[in-house]
């Protein structure tokens, strides 16, 4: 069988786990996992932040969330948006379905974790909407729990699955599904039907570890910035998820992107919505110095350029200047002509909020009767002092896209989109 998948896996984004991406990667490689379903407690950020990191290393990430409902926990797989905790089980299942996801019931019986298991009455009400249920959980402290879980699966005639419920690195890879095909939302039931389910007994010490982690995080829980290096395929996947976020609430008839950072995202989202796309060239105060130093910087090794760019972004996003909105000047590369009523402005990352705020002001001055919304792959908290972005996928992340000189795909980007880059340079003067 060609695929080995671990479902129900937690990371440092859960309140009771400290697993980072490098420890998780190491265990995936050691255990031969090539697909993982990251399902943090009431959170999807790790799965979103890390999917490109793992994809570039041959491992597929299924974006999931273990949601605490009013009647216990349920997992949604193949999501693109966080589902709020505290909803009814019916509301939660409906939201998973609305996102095109898979409904997965974890640990349906567990005497130790009785507060989190999905109540039998709730399971009975939504059983027709459930795609699979665990008959083994990697944290079952007794084999009797496995028997009870299997009985529940048979009672409701639900497809069986094993979940790792890994919170600590040494738990990863011990409970997995082996299949001939990779799991997707569309083929999930068929692939699961022919899967080989591999299970291992609980490492009881892992429960002790998570108790200490939970206490430690109550005392100190920093939120470091993530660095995300995105190749062409990653940008396409992320753009598709951002487009889904937008389409949940808004249907634009025109896309305006901020060049050159928003170039790839804007073009891809425009293609997905099938609407006209226009470009705005943005110029920040201080970019002249960067331009004059570019000949020197271009000769530096990529890892040094990447480090310098991270430092620049960290300084820019931690500044929070009150005058940031005055830093950006804009001009159209191709000015929209027509009667557009719903305009979406797109950028790769909103750091100070200066360029995006200037873009909104410019578009509203030219189209005063139009509704204007904003979207970005990433937003930094300091930008909220200037403006609030309507739709975003990442928060507080440093992005390196193919249009960035420190990205491995930059030469390919320059070769494919060289003419457009020249237009940007000419527009900026």
Q: Are residues 176 and 256 in the same domain?
A: no
Q: Are residues 142 and 112 in the same domain?
A: yes
| DSSP conformational letter for 248 | T
Q: Are residues 82 and 107 in the same domain?
A: yes
Q: Are residues 332 and 187 in the same domain?
A: no
Ranges of beta strands (E only) in 295-424 are 328-332, 342-350, 371-379, 391-395, 397-400
| Last residue of one domain, picked from the residues 219, 244, 260 | 219
Q: Are residues 283 and 368 in the same domain?
A: yes
| pLDDT tier at 325, thresholds 50, 70, 90 | very low
pLDDT digit string, tens, across residues 274-303:
999 998 887 655 555 455 555 555 556 655
Other C-beta atoms closer than 10 Å to the C-beta of 422 total: 10
Mean pLDDT for the chain overall: 89
Q: Higher-confidence residue: 304 or 2?
A: 2
| DSSP conformational letter for 385 | G
Q: Are residues 193 and 270 in the same domain?
A: no
Strand order in the sheet with 391-395: 328-332, 277-284, 254-259, 342-350, 371-379, 391-395
In DSSP terms, which residues pair with 376 in a beta bridge? 347, 392
Tokens, residue 379: 């937003």
Interacting residues of 108 by C-beta distance below 8 A, sequence separation 6+: 117, 118, 123, 133, 134, 148, 149, 152, 153
Q: For position 318, what pLDDT does the model report?
A: 57
- Smallest Cα–Cα separation from 200: which of 159, 155, 170? 170
Q: How many domains does the chain have?
A: 2
pLDDT at 321 over 70: no
Q: Are residues 120 and 21 in the same domain?
A: yes
pLDDT digit string, tens, across residues 36-64:
999 999 999 999 999 999 999 999 999 99
- CATH number for the domain spanning 166: value is 3.20.20.140
Q: For position 289, what pLDDT does the model report?
A: 46
pLDDT at 320 over 60: no
Q: For position 360, what pLDDT does the model report?
A: 94
pLDDT digit string, tens, across residues 204-228:
999 999 999 999 998 887 776 789 9
Q: Higher-confidence residue: 25 or 282?
A: 25
| Last residue of one domain, picked from the residues 219, 251, 284 | 219
In DSSP terms, which residues pair with 278 in a beta bridge? 256
| Last residue of one domain, picked from the residues 219, 251, 286 | 219
Q: Are residues 215 and 236 in the same domain?
A: no
Q: For position 46, what pLDDT does the model report?
A: 95
pLDDT digit string, tens, across residues 94-134:
999 999 999 999 999 998 888 899 999 999 999 999 999 99
* Residue found under tokens 């030469």: 411
Q: For position 242, what pLDDT does the model report?
A: 97
Tokens, residue 316: 């820019």
- Smallest Cα–Cα separation from 298: which of 283, 309, 313, 282? 309
| DSSP conformational letter for 172 | T
- CATH number for the domain spanning 352: value is 3.40.50.2020
Q: For position 307, what pLDDT does the model report?
A: 66
Q: For position 335, what pLDDT does the model report?
A: 75
Q: Are residues 138 and 234 in the same domain?
A: no
Q: Are residues 313 and 382 in the same domain?
A: yes
Q: Are residues 212 and 242 in the same domain?
A: no
Q: Which domain holds residue 157?
A: 3-219
pLDDT at 33 over 90: yes
Lowest mean pLDDT among 17-31, 324-338, 360-374: 324-338
Instruction: End-to-end CA distance of the chain: give it in Å, rounded.
Output: 57
Q: Higher-confidence residue: 319 or 242?
A: 242
pTM value is 0.89
pLDDT digit string, tens, across residues 145-183:
999 999 999 999 999 999 999 999 999 999 999 999 999
Q: For position 323, what pLDDT does the model report?
A: 43
CA angle 256, 262, 268 (to 5 degrees): 75
Q: Are residues 45 and 187 in the same domain?
A: yes
């Amino acid at each position: 069988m060609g695929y080995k998948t671990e479902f129900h896996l937690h990371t440092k984004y859960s309140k009771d786990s400290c697993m980072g991406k490098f420890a998780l990667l190491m265990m995936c490689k050691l255990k031969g996992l090539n697909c993982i379903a990251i399902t943090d407690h009431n959170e999807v950020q790790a799965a979103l932040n890390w999917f490109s990191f793992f994809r570039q290393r041959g491992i597929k990430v299924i974006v999931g969330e273990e949601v605490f409902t009013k009647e216990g926990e349920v997992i949604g797989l193949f999501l693109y948006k966080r589902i709020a905790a505290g909803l009814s089980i019916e509301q939660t299942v409906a939201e998973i379905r609305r996102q095109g996801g898979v409904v997965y019931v974890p640990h349906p019986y567990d005497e130790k974790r009785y507060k989190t298991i999905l109540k039998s009455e709730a399971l009975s009400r939504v059983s027709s909407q459930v795609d699979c249920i665990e008959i083994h959980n990697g944290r079952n402290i007794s084999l009797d729990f496995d028997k009870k879980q299997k009985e529940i699966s048979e009672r409701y005639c639900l497809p069986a699955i094993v979940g790792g419920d890994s919170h600590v690195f040494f738990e990863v890879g011990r409970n997995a599904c082996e299949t001939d095909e990779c799991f997707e939302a569309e083929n999930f039931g068929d692939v699961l039907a022919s899967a080989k389910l591999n299970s291992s007994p609980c490492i009881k010490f892992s429960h002790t570890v998570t108790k200490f982690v939970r206490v430690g995080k109550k005392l100190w829980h920093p939120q470091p910035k993530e660095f995300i290096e995105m190749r062409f395929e990653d940008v396409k996947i992320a753009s598709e998820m951002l487009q889904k976020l937008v389409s949940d609430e808004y249907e634009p008839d025109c896309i305006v992107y901020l060049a050159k950072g928003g170039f790839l995202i804007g073009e891809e989202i425009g293609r997905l919505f099938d609407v006209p796309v226009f470009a705005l060239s943005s110029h920040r105060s201080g970019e002249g110095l960067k331009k004059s130093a570019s000949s020197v910087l271009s000769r530096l090794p990529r890892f040094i350029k990447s480090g310098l760019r991270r430092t620049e972004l960290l300084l820019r996003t931690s500044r929070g200047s009150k005058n940031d909105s005055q830093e950006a000047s804009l001009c159209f590369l191709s000015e929209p002509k027509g009667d557009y009523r719903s305009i979406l402005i797109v950028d790769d990352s909103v750091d100070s909020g200066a360029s995006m705020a200037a873009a909104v002001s410019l578009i509203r001055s030219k189209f005063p009767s139009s509704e204007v919304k904003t979207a970005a792959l990433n937003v930094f908290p300091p930008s909220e002092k200037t403006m609030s972005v309507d739709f975003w996928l990442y928060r507080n992340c440093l992005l390196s896209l193919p249009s960035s000189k420190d990205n491995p795909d930059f030469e390919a980007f320059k070769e494919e989109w060289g003419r457009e880059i020249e237009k940007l340079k000419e527009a900026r003067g």
